[in-house]
Amino acid sequence: MRQTPAAAPSVLRRLFLVMSLVRYRFFLYAGLLPYVLGAAWAYRITGHLDAAIFWSGLAGVGLAVVGVEAFNEYFDARMGTDRVFNPQDLPPMSDAVLWLGIAGFAGALGVGIYLTLSAGWPILAFAGLGGLAAVFYVAPPIRWAYRGLGETVIALSYGPWMVLGSLYLHAGLFAWGALWASLVPGFMIMSLAVVNAIPDFHQDRLVGKRNLVVRVGRERAVWLYLGLAALALLVVVAGVIAGVFPMISLATLAALPLLISSGRSAFGTFTTPRLFVPAIRRIVACYLVTAAVFTLTIGLQAWVSHMP
């Protein structure tokens, strides 16, 4: 009788821990914003969007993000990446996390098949590329992140593949301007992949995770992530000058102070993980502002241009 009340919180706590693996920031900056950017570009070209297709695609991206997060947590734990210095402080990784990832990818595959039947085989091709990137980012036998290719795979997945896939889903075509636009989230997400690995430099090196931070060192990695983020903003400026993006897209430069602030914090703290956290938070905020404002300006210009 005394053990029964305690059992329920234990089960609920385990469920909460599993679901908490799907961290909110990935929904915000990894997949959803580039997907919406592709949809906004499609609306710019065609002047309309199919609501059912839009929400189905968004659901598919969300399920894929669940799979990515769960697989990353599970296989990183199995490799010991996050448990090098404090293994006794972390509970054993449950197989439920692996099954959560499998369920997420299975759901995303189901949505991908449905959208392929609706929009054509290129959707399945984009889904396949995204699947190879997501499933094998840290999972064997490929383990992109352990071969120094993880950051590039992330940039391609959440940049060109996501934006162009979304464009084709909604408009049934491709456009060079959309490819140019996809470089904005692509460079930014690559910047985030680099900066997130800086605090884990020693752990990653000890377990053989040869990402870019391990390869170039932490100080150069700071320059690298700042350069990638700055390059994303330069893409916007160059696109406006070339007439690919509307003039209003220069509002994206509102993210520049966050980039500068992140850099100022990073150069004095990159050797101390706890003190480096503010630099990470500011570059995450920089991404959110960049991706959200840029997408909004593309959508706003499209809406104005299609007004009767």
Per-domain residue ranges of the chain:
25-305
Confidence band for 47, pLDDT divided at 50, 70 and 90:
confident
pLDDT top residue among 74 and 253:
253
Handedness of CA 102, 145, 226, 267 (dihedral sign): positive
According to the 3-state scheme, what is the secondary structure of 33-45?
A: HHHHHHHHHHHHH
Of 226, 211, 63, which Cα lies nearest the Cα of 143? 211
Question: Average pLDDT in the 187-197 region?
Answer: 92
Q: Are 135 and 71 in contact (CB under 8 A)?
A: yes
Confidence band for 17, pLDDT divided at 50, 70 and 90:
low
Tokens encoding 56: 């189905």
Tokens encoding 292: 């959200």
In the 8-state DSSP scheme, what is residue 250? G
Confidence band for 16, pLDDT divided at 50, 70 and 90:
low
CATH class of 25-305: mainly alpha
Tokens encoding 136: 């094998």
Least confident residue range of 69-78, 83-92, 148-157: 83-92
Tokens encoding 245: 């993006």
Rounded Cα distance between 209 and 199, Å, is: 13
Question: Average pLDDT in the 56-61 region?
Answer: 88
Of 23, 31, 35, 24, which Cα lies nearest the Cα of 70? 23
Rounded Cα distance between 283 and 299, Å, is: 24
Indicate left, alpha or beta for 61 from its phi (over 0: left) and psi (-120 to 50: alpha): alpha
Tokens encoding 196: 């997130």
Question: Average pLDDT in the 159-178 region?
Answer: 92
pLDDT in tens, 96-121: 777 887 888 888 888 888 888 888 88
Rounded Cα distance between 263 and 52, Å, is: 42
What does pLDDT average to over the chain? 82
Confidence band for 43, pLDDT divided at 50, 70 and 90:
very high
- pLDDT over 90 (residue 235): yes
| Overall pTM surpassing 0.85 (yes/no) | no
Rounded Cα distance between 284 and 30, Å, is: 11
SS3 of 272, please?
coil
